[in-house]
Amino acid sequence: MAGRVALVTGAGSADGIGFATAVALAAAGHRVAITSTTKRIQDRLRELGGEVAGHMALAADLTDEKAVGKLVAEVNGRLGKIDILVNNAGMIQTGKKERARLFQDIPTEEWLRTLDINLNTCFLVSRAIVPQMVRRKYGRIVNIASVTGPMVTNPRSAGYSTAKAAMTGLTRALAIEVAEKNVTVNAVCPGWIETGSSSKAEIIAGAHTPAKRPGRPDEVAAAAAFLASEGASYITGQTLVVDGGNMLQEFKGPPGKGRLS
């Protein structure tokens, strides 16, 4: 795996999946570029070892096509052509308030914004980088989707579910187009993962998985790092679920009264 150039989006949170993935790729010997919407990304760069270690960080709004183009150009100029792309940006942007609503109550502007953050960021960054991967006949794209949308869903999450389901569709559509160029495109679908933004209810849900705990960001990062490796060269267009076995169980309530077995 060593010696590649990787770009990880949505890596601003110290205890998030994006930064955990950046750490895993850096540990494997890659030069890693990280990005988020705020300047806190510079704090993550210092934790990675800084520019002296061969890494870089830039704040960018990945819903802006021009900003994406500038980001990719800067990474190419400072680290080299991008071999690995991890599309993790999404969920909620720092400084933007999100409100859970029933489907019929979602304002059009809010619906489009949710798709913009969770789906179009993946589209814009991938589209900007795929041509160089195809020309060089090497590339690994890993999209961090979710079980929410592609496999399951929750009330008041229609926008997020739709975007993440579409991300797995995009994964397959792109994978089939670039497979003969030695470019793989896969998705990781996390379940209940404990991060700094996890709610109390999400932590409780994680405790009721078969593993009896929520997952850790580094456990999702390990899956992403594998799919980004040269060893995953014959895996493409797939979704890898990281959820502690939660998809396996039909009964997801607390133990005790009401259990089916």
pLDDT digits (tens, 9 = 90+) for 219-247: 999 999 999 999 999 999 999 999 999 99
- Contact 39/32 with Cβ under 8 angstroms? no
Which residues make beta-bridge pairs with 139?
183
The DSSP H or E segment spanning 59 is: strand 56-59
Alpha-helical regions (H) of 28-152: 41-48, 65-78, 108-115, 121-136
The torsion angles phi and psi of 197, rounded to 5 degrees, stand at: -95, 0
Quick count: other Cβ atoms within 10 Å of Cβ 102?
Answer: 9
At residue 170, the pLDDT reads 98
Asked whether the predicted pLDDT for residue 95 surpasses 50, the reply is no
At residue 94, the pLDDT reads 40
Q: Which residues are catalytically annotated?
A: 160
How high is the mean pLDDT of the chain? Answer: 94
Q: Please tell me the distance from the alpha carbon of residue 58 to that of residue 183, in angstroms, as a whole number.
A: 25
Asked whether the predicted pLDDT for residue 93 surpasses 90, the reply is no
pTM across the whole model: 0.94
- Contact 17/33 with Cβ under 8 angstroms? no
At residue 197, the pLDDT reads 85
Asked whether the predicted pLDDT for residue 257 surpasses 80, the reply is no
Q: Please tell me the distance from the alpha carbon of residue 220 to that of residue 182, in angstroms, as a whole number.
A: 24
Looking at domain 5-248, its CATH class is alpha beta
